[in-house]
Each structure stands twice: as C-alpha cells, then as structure tokens.
Amino acid sequence: MNTAKKKSDLEAACIPLISETQKKYIHDHYRHHHLITILRFLVFFTFLIIWEAAGRFRLIDTFFFSSPSMVISYFVQMLADGSLFTHAGITLLETILSFLLITLISMLTATLLWYSRTLSEILEPYLVILNSLPKSALAPLLIVWLGTGTGTIIVAGISVAIFGSVINLYTGFRHTDPEKLKLIYTLGGNRFDAFHKVVLPSSIPVILSNMKVNIGLALVGVIIGEFLAARKGLGYLIIYGTQVFKLNMVITSIIILCIIAMGLYQCIQWLEHLYKKKK
C-alpha cells in the first residue's frame, strides 16, 4: 500500500515532465491494446456471421450444425422453462465440490509425503501410474461401485485431477530453498515450523497455478461422469441431445460449458491477483 501511494505521488510529480516521446509511447501502447481488443471481437463476430450465413444459404445443414440464431432461441427457451438453471447449476455445483475436494485431499496428501520421505518413496510409482492412467477408463467402474448420481460424478471429477495435483504440490513443496529450512532449524524450530513458516508460504504460487489446472480438470471429470451416470447436468444434456438428434441442445450446452469454464478460471485468476496485490 505504501509503495502504491509513493507511485501515485511520483506520477503526480511527473505529469508536467512527460516528454513528447513518452507521450507517443503511451499513446502507441494503448492504441495497440485497443486494436487487439477490437480484433478479438471481430474474429468472434466474423465466425458467428459465417456460421449463420452458411446455414441460411444452405451450405451447411442446420439440423446437424445448428446456427447462432437457433442457439440463442434455444437458450431463451431454456431460460424461460428454468432448465438452464437446473442443468448448468448442477454441473457447476458438482465441479466446485470436486475442485474443493481435490484441493483439500491433495494438499493433505502432499503435506504427508513431504513429512515422510520414506512414504513418498514408497508411493511414488503408484502415483505416477495412476496419474498417467486415462481416468475416463475408471468411470464405468465407478458407476458399478457407487451407482448413478451426484456422488459418482463428484468422484469422477476428483479422479481426473487428484493424482497430478498431489505430484505437482509435492514437487513444489520439495523445491523449497533448503537454506531457508536450515534457518528455521538454527532458530530452534522443528519440521512442523519449517513446513508452515517456510514451505507453505513459499509454495503459494505453485498452489495457485495448481488450482488453475485443477478447476479445468474437475470440469472435464464431471462432464465424463455426467455422460455416464446422470439425469441432470450439461453432460447429460449433451449425451441426451445427441441420442435424440436435438443438436441445438448439444451445441447450446457446449457453449454454456465454455462460459462456465471461463468463469471458473477467472475466479482463480482473481485469487492470484489478490495474492499478488497483497504481496
């Protein structure tokens, strides 16, 4: 906060001193940014227009490919009958629950592995194998074991990210500067002090970037789960829509998924931003 204040003072003092070249630099900088933003929207709208036009001129069959106007009208219809909130809501809820459980379980496991070198040596090959296993292969088994329903879907979401997350966090913990750990020991601290005074605070960037990966993977896992074991949710809509050839439903669901994925990612980004600001 102090530095921010200093900076604004500095800027205030500098205002009359801005040279022509500096002005030009700032001008060019913002022009470049605006240009990028405009072009991004342009790409988006060009895509929509081509998609819509191709449908209208019968270059593509809207029965299979839908069109922006059909998606919008279907979206409005879903809003009106409330099914949007039921399906998107349940997917969102399952994703957030999976994500929280992944974070909790992997933090605890990684901490345990950091504490016990022996344990981590024993478990390492198992973690590596489980991490490289395609988790969608587990989903049918999960249904048999756990039945259909929200529980199974959350477990599917967890299974996709958990092993990678444990490995990432553990590696992050292990990369703590050994001299900083030595410092704690020379001051008379024990391994517990070393963990929560040094390892944990210095691993926050790793933890945050790991969360970014996890939130995406949790969504993947939840959708896989919903494909197989749900009566509700966007994954269910996608599977159901394909089976009855309601492709509007499928494409609208996919677009809503895009929006959810973006929103969740932004949340973590915001957390990271908050952390950097505090620092």
Among 77, 111, 202, 209, binds another protein (CB under 8 A): 202
CB of 268 to another protein, least distance (A): 20
In angstroms and rounded to an integer, the radius of gyration of the C-alpha atoms of the chain is: 25
Q: Does 16 engage in binding with another protein (CB under 8 A)? A: no
Nearer to another protein, 148 or 202 (CB): 202
Q: Output 181 or 229, the one with its CB closest to another protein.
A: 181
* x/- letters, 148..177, toward another protein (CB under 8 A): -----------------------------x
Helices 83-115 and 150-174: crossing angle in degrees, nearest 10, is 40
> 140 or 205, CB closer to another protein?
205
Among 7, 34, 56, 182, binds another protein (CB under 8 A): 182
Which residue type, as a one-letter code, is found at position 139? A
Query: How far are the Cα atoms of 74, 80, 193 from residue 251, in angstroms, in the given order?
Result: 10, 18, 52
Run of H or E residues at 217: helix 204-229
Q: 3-state DSSP: the chain helix, strand, coil percent, rounded to 5?
A: 90, 0, 10
Residue of 13, 141, 201, 277 interacting with another protein (CB under 8 A): 201
69 CB-near residues (< 8 Å, 6+ apart): 52
Measured CA to CA, the distance from residue 76 to residue 68 in angstroms comes to: 12
Smaller CB separation from another protein, 151 or 189: 189
Is residue 197 within 8 A of residue 112, CB to CB? The reply is: no
Q: Which of 23, 180, 231, 276 binds another protein (CB under 8 A)?
A: 180
Q: Which is nearer to another protein, 8 or 46 (CB)?
A: 8
Tell me which residues touch another protein (CB under 8 A): 2-3, 177, 179-180, 182-190, 193, 197-198, 201-202, 204, 279
